[in-house]
A = this chain, B = another copy of it.
Amino acid sequence: MSQEVTIVRNVLEANDRLAQELENSFRVKKILCLNLMSSPGAGKTSLLEHTLTDLKDEFKMAVIEGDLQTDNDAQRIAATGAQAVQINTEGGCHLDSGMVLEALKSIDTEGLDILFIENVGNLVCPAEFNVGEDYKVTLLSAAEGDDKPEKYPFMFHISAVMLLNKTDLLPYVDFDLEKATSHAKKLNADIEVFPVSARTGENLGKWYEWLRKKRAEKL
């Protein structure tokens, strides 16, 4: 098994070198880059649809979409008018920096303010692979249960933001907002928690404020 461990380490180190390249390039170009992660169906694409529409007069934004198959999500993003590039991992469980570097060739980064990277729906593996982002942002759907930060701790430990999505379902599920928040804060005292509904578009104001602040800090 030690050969396997060495290979895994080499893969992660090679990824980190490319992530550093991406990070440098985003710094020079003053692009805020966010790595969006969650379980399948937690609402990443819906959140982006609202964000790209509501902030389109303030920022030039683009999206790299990661999926095992299909370009459904890239089509939904393109319908908002934003640039969208689809990466199909062909079964792969996460995006890596090599894939993002390749996808970036199809994006016009001139004057770009914010780049969203929507990772493969998976609360485990994407957490291990940096893709040059300034921050990791994790969505947790109220339908998934308030125990998820405790059960998938690494993802919440390394995220700057936890968006508690699908608050419109709170009356119909057993989900304790306080419990989920306190578990997440135990893993990461600095995590910002924003309860939102990406379906109805409610309560997105604090998320937008956070984006404005973080974008301003890149200038």
Contacts and interface: CB of A to CB of B under 8 A. Distances in A.
Chain A interface residue number, banded: 35 or more
Specify which of A41, A168, A173 lies most central, judged by the most chain B CB atoms within 10 Å of its CB.
A41
Interface in A107-151: 120-125, 141, 143-145, 147-148, 150-151
One complex includes copies of this chain to the number of 2
Contact of A68 (B4, B7, B121, B124): B124
Contacts of A143: 41, 141, 143-144, 166, 169
Contacts of A40: 39, 123, 144-145, 148, 151-152
Interface of A: 3-4, 7, 10-11, 39-42, 67-70, 72, 91, 93, 120-125, 141, 143-145, 147-148, 150-154, 166, 168-169, 172-174, 199
